[in-house]
Amino acid sequence: MVRSVPRRPLIGKTPEMLEIQRLISAVAHNRSTVLITGESGTGKELVAREIHAIGDRTRGPFVAVNCGSVSKTLLESELFGHVKGAFTGALYDTLGFFRAADGGTIFLDEVVEMEGDLQSKLLRVLQEREVRPVGSSETFPVDVRVVAATNRDVDRAVKEGLLREDLYYRVNVVTVKLPPLRQRKADIPRLVEHFVEKYAFEYGVSAKKLHPATTYLFLQYPWPGNVRELENVIERAYALDAGDVILPEHLPSTMTEAEAGIEQRPESSPVPTLAEAERQAIIQALAAANGNKSKAAHYLRIHRNRLTRMMDRYDI
């Protein structure tokens, strides 16, 4: 019997992620164009898929296109299709991604990387809701929900002429801004739990646990690659058959060597400083409580408000 992993909602209980989930629920059942912004690895396609999955178009196709990885000529053909003989190598008619996504959702990742004249053609498609294949004089109506994304600063991209202002206002009906993982570290235990279960399933083994020292490193590390990097680190531990417990030595050297802003004690001192010990205790309590401040405060035997002040003091 073939097993399948059920679709899971967007993971996160920090205020930022709860607001994103609220936005997703609000826009999922209409056809508004959505612009998702955020650093690479923050989960922009995951948000686009969630919008599609819980909306009225869930029975239709979801088509994802990376606009930054395809040449200008090829991208136009892939988006809008072409007719036979339109250019060298066009041996037959093609539908293009927009017509393939008819009745569903098309996700245009890295939309800012499109050339200016192609952005103009995309704008016309969004306004007229019809496409003209390359080399054709005929247009075809399309009923497609458009979700666009970029890892650039869109206001700056408009000022620098990288993104047409009229296209920006057309795709920016609703904006979902994804925070980097370093700004929502309270979600790390939940993400770890998800990826540990995911790769235990994929590798057909028991779920691994994180050693407390590993958890501490996870909460200290700035995660420049965001959620994608965290997932890769967990998968790496399974690929290397790291045993039942993921230890610091099972992590990439970039993590174990990173200072990550940790206060360094004098080399002559055999014990951590009081501030370092206090900070580590807070992080371990939050990890044990899966980011729940009230529960972490209970573990530390302090009031929740005091914990909040201490977290601010230690930049946790």
Pairing of strands 34-37, 174-177: parallel
The region of weakest confidence among 111-115, 205-209, 253-257 is: 253-257
Q: Mean of the pLDDT values across residues 106-134?
A: 93
Residue 314 CA neighbour count, 13 Å, CB half: 21
pLDDT at 8: 54
pLDDT category of residue 202 using cuts at 50, 70 and 90: very high
Nearest of 153, 211, 195 to residue 177 by alpha carbon: 153
CB-hemisphere CA count at 13 Å for 58?
9
pLDDT value, residue 208? 92
Q: Give the pLDDT confidence of 51-102 residue by residue, as tens digits.
A: 999 998 999 999 999 998 887 778 988 999 887 877 777 778 888 999 999 9
Q: How much is the average pLDDT of 208-230?
A: 91
The owner of tokens 């826009």 is: 27
pLDDT at res. 126:
94
Q: Three-state DSSP class for 82?
A: strand
For 172-184, how does the pLDDT look when each residue is reduced to its tens digit (9 = 90+)? 999 999 999 999 9
Most distant CA atoms of the chain, gap in Å: 79
CA–centroid distance for 207 within its chain: 24
Half-sphere exposure of 3 (CA within 13 A, CB side): 6
Number of neighbouring beta carbons within 10 Å of residue 24:
21
Mode of pairing for the β-strands spanning 140-141 and 130-131? antiparallel
What is residue 165's predicted lDDT score, i.e. its pLDDT? 95
Q: What pLDDT shows up at residue 283? A: 80
Highest mean pLDDT range out of 13-17, 165-169, 305-309?
Answer: 165-169
279, 263 contact by CB (below 8 A): yes
What is the band of 314 on the pLDDT scale with cuts at 50, 70, 90?
Answer: confident
> Average pLDDT, stretch 208-229?
91
Residue 298 has pLDDT above 90, yes or no: no
CA 119 to chain centre: 24
Residue 61 to residue 160: CA distance in whole angstroms:
35
Q: How far is it, in rounded angstroms, from Cα 253 to Cα 234?
A: 14
What pLDDT is recorded for position 73? 73
Residues 6+ apart with CB under 8 A from 152: 37, 112, 162, 163
Tell me what the pLDDT averaged over the chain comes to: 86
Q: Which residue has the higher pLDDT, 302 or 123?
A: 123
pLDDT at 262: 47
Q: What is the DSSP letter of 163?
A: S
Token duo for residue 231:
């997932």
Percent of the chain with pLDDT over 90: 55
Q: How far apart are CA 134 and CA 73, in angstroms?
A: 10
- pLDDT for the residue numbered 9: 61
The better pLDDT of the pair 8, 196 is held by: 196
Predicted confidence at residue 1, as pLDDT, reads 31
pLDDT confidence of residue 269: 54
In the predicted structure, residue 111 carries a pLDDT above the cut 70: yes
> Across residues 196-225, what is the average pLDDT?
91
pLDDT at 144 over 70: yes
User: What's the average model confidence in pLDDT over 157-166?
Assistant: 94
**Is there a contact between 228 and 188 (Cβ–Cβ < 8 Å)?**
no
Contacts of 84 (CB under 8 A, 6+ apart): 90, 91, 92, 93
- Alpha-helical regions (H) of the chain: 15-27, 44-54, 72-80, 97-100, 116-128, 154-159, 165-171, 188-203, 212-220, 226-239, 253-256, 274-288, 293-300, 304-313
pLDDT of residue 16 exceeding 80:
yes
Task: Give yes or no for residue 103 having a pLDDT over 90.
Answer: yes
Whether the pLDDT of residue 170 is over 50: the answer is yes
pLDDT digits (tens, 9 = 90+) for 228-287: 999 999 999 999 887 899 988 899 988 877 644 444 444 445 556 777 777 778 887 887
- Within 10 angstroms of residue 234's Cβ, the number of other Cβ atoms is 23
Closest to 118 (Cα-Cα) out of 134, 129, 94: 134
